[in-house]
Amino acid sequence: MSQAEQEQTQTYYERVGGHETFVKLVHEFYKGVATDEPLREMYPEEDLGPAEVRLRMFLEQYWGGPKTYSEQRGHPRLRMRHIEFKVTPTQRDRWLTHMNAAIDTLGLAPMDDELMRGYMAHAANFMVNAHDDD
């Protein structure tokens, strides 16, 4: 099998470096969240570690990696799991700022970078459940 054929049969998860890539992505993201007081308020746990693990497992599963998230937590139900939090366009933008900064640290191939940023923007928009002036 040629390298091009191998790349076509790989999942996105495998192609971008697997577990270690998602560990780095999520760790870098939460380093930003930890310093962003308005966004940090959406994470009620004193330690961001559990949130970091949950997001990493979710993203790994979404991109074709292990199904650990569903095995441990069931269906993602992202909006339902976040409904108690006021997710405004401003909060979405803050979240995306930190996520995009984390993606910047990965050095992904242009197509993979674009796919990840596109998904993150879509997911962040999907989570908005309030107006900024509410």
Per-residue pLDDT tens for 74-116?
Answer: 655 555 545 566 789 999 999 999 999 999 999 999 999 999 9
Domain boundary assignment for the chain: 3-127
pLDDT of amino acid 4: 57
User: 10-52, pLDDT tens digit by residue?
Assistant: 999 999 999 999 999 999 999 999 999 998 988 877 889 989 9
Q: What is the pTM of this model?
A: 0.85
- Per-residue pLDDT, averaged over 120-125, amounts to 94
How many of the other CB atoms lie within 10 Å of CB of 89? 13
CATH class of 3-127: mainly alpha
Task: Report the Cα–Cα distance between both ends of the chain, in Å, rounded.
Answer: 56
Rounded to whole angstroms, the Cα distance separating 45 from 90 reads 22
- The first and second tokens of residue 51, run together, are 């949130």
